């Protein structure tokens, strides 16, 4: 379809982009890689008067260490996340997750910030950043603020970003010793989106007991979430396949699963337990230094 008329604006700096967003408010939409917004505009599901292209902003594509954390610019592409030597050595979960997104063309154009800000219920990154306890940095004309990732995903296609804010950076902590991570998903064959996806982070303490556990789930409900029931079932207990299988049964606790032509609610619920169990098993193996 042909989109409704709009004015295209391509600011060169983040400050310029923030002024435009502040000025035009709800009449404007932000575009970066374009994979999410362009289809909506073509179908006229979105009809902005202004499209603000931040894809060419200077200085917003990077992966670097800052203050003991790893800072990732919002315009960093999936391909750059996948290939980053720094992330591979200190936060491999993001590399693994990025590698599972779409295809080569999508990974070379799409951005991590755009994916998170769009908050598609079947996107891959949300599960990973939840498992990593990431911080989401939002910029506005008033300055910046950091949003805890557990508060960021509010509902389907809805985040905690306020009017006039642009997601500018993602911050994650490097993995500590005896910590393993993994991302497992049941992908939709045509799009590569997650019918169900699970990211796990486990830290082992003395005697092989689980000292820390974080599990992020995507694809199951209207927004990605931390599976607190799974985490509670794991903490303080000695890791085993039986424990992982039992804990995974809490994956959908308190969630009303989505149902569509790709999978029924009940099937998604069952697959959530399966893929959480797989992610926990792989994260445990990696915490022990196994591949």
Report domain extents, the chain: 7-53, 63-172, 179-287
Burial 212-249 (b: 16+ CB within 10 A, else e): bbbbbbbbbbbbbbbbebbbebbeeeebeeebbebbbb
pLDDT in tens, the chain (291 residues): 789 999 999 999 999 999 999 999 999 999 998 888 998 999 999 999 999 999 989 899 999 999 999 999 999 999 999 999 999 999 999 999 999 999 999 999 999 999 999 999 999 999 999 999 999 999 999 999 999 999 999 999 999 999 999 999 999 999 999 999 999 999 999 889 999 999 999 999 999 999 999 999 999 999 999 999 999 999 999 999 999 999 999 999 999 999 999 999 999 999 999 999 999 999 999 999 998
| Predicted local distance difference test score (pLDDT) of residue 35 | 82
Contact 174, 87 (CB under 8 A): no
Q: Which residue is it, tokens 């099937």? A: 267
Instruction: State the Cα–Cα distance between residues 45 and 150, nearest whole angstrom.
Output: 28
| CATH T-level fold of 7-53 | 3.30.43
Instruction: State the Cα–Cα distance between residues 201 and 3, nearest whole angstrom.
Output: 43
- Under DSSP, the state recorded for 134 is -
Q: Which of 23, 188, 212 is nearest to 103 (CA)?
A: 188
| Predicted local distance difference test score (pLDDT) of residue 34 | 87
* Beta-strand runs (E) in 93-193: 135-140, 143-148, 153-155, 158-159, 166-172, 179-187
Instruction: State the Cα–Cα distance between residues 154 and 159, nearest whole angstrom.
Output: 5
| Predicted local distance difference test score (pLDDT) of residue 1 | 75
Residue 245's alpha-carbon distances to 69, 210, 230, 251, 265, in angstroms, are 32, 15, 10, 11, 20
Paired sense of beta strands 7-9 and 50-53, if any: parallel
Q: What is the pTM of this model?
A: 0.97
| Predicted local distance difference test score (pLDDT) of residue 256 | 97
| SS3 at position 118 | helix
CA 42 to chain centre: 25
CB burial class (10 A; 0-12, 13-18, 19+) of residue 68?
exposed
Name the strands in the sheet holding 28-31, side by side, starting at the edge strand that comes first in the sequence: 7-9, 50-53, 28-31
| CATH T-level fold of 179-287 | Enolase-like; domain 1 (3.30.390)
Task: Examine domains 7-53 and 179-287 and report if their fold is the same.
Answer: no
Name the strands in the sheet holding 225-226, side by side, starting at the edge strand that comes first in the sequence: 179-187, 194-204, 210-218, 225-226
Q: Which of 77, 73, 63 is nearest to 111 (CA)?
A: 77
CATH for 63-172 (3.30.465.10, 3.50.50.60, 3.40.50.300, 3.30.210.10): 3.30.465.10
């Amino acid at each position: 379809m042909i989109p409704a008329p709009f004015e295209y604006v391509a600011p060169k700096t983040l400050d310029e982009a923030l002024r435009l967003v502040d000025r035009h408010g709800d009449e404007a939409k932000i575009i970066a890689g374009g994979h999410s917004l362009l289809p909506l505009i073509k179908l006229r599901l979105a009809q902005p008067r202004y499209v603000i292209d931040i894809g060419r902003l200077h200085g917003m594509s990077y992966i670097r260490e800052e203050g003991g954390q790893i800072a990732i610019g919002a315009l960093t592409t999936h391909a750059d996340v996948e290939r980053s030597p720094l992330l591979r050595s200190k936060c491999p979960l993001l590399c693994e997750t990025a590698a599972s997104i779409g295809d080569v063309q999508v990974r070379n154009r799409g951005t991590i910030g755009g994916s998170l800000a769009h908050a598609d219920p079947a996107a891959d990154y949300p599960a990973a950043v939840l498992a990593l306890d990431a911080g989401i940095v939002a910029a506005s004309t008033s300055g910046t603020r950091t949003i805890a990732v557990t508060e960021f995903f509010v509902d389907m296609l809805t985040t905690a970003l306020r009017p006039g804010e642009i997601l500018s950076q993602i911050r994650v902590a490097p993995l500590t010793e005896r910590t393993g991570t993994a991302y497992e998903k049941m992908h939709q064959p045509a799009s590569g989106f997650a019918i169900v996806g699970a990211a796990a982070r486990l830290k082992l303490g003395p005697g092989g007991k689980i000292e820390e556990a974080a599990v992020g789930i995507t694809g199951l409900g209207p927004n990605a979430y931390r599976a607190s029931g799974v985490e509670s079932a794991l903490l303080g207990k000695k890791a085993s396949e039986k424990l992982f299988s039992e804990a995974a049964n809490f994956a959908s606790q308190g969630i009303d699963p989505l149902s569509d032509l790709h999978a029924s609610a009940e099937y998604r619920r069952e697959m959530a337990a399966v893929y959480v169990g797989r992610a926990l098993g792989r994260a445990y193996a990696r915490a022990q230094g196994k591949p």
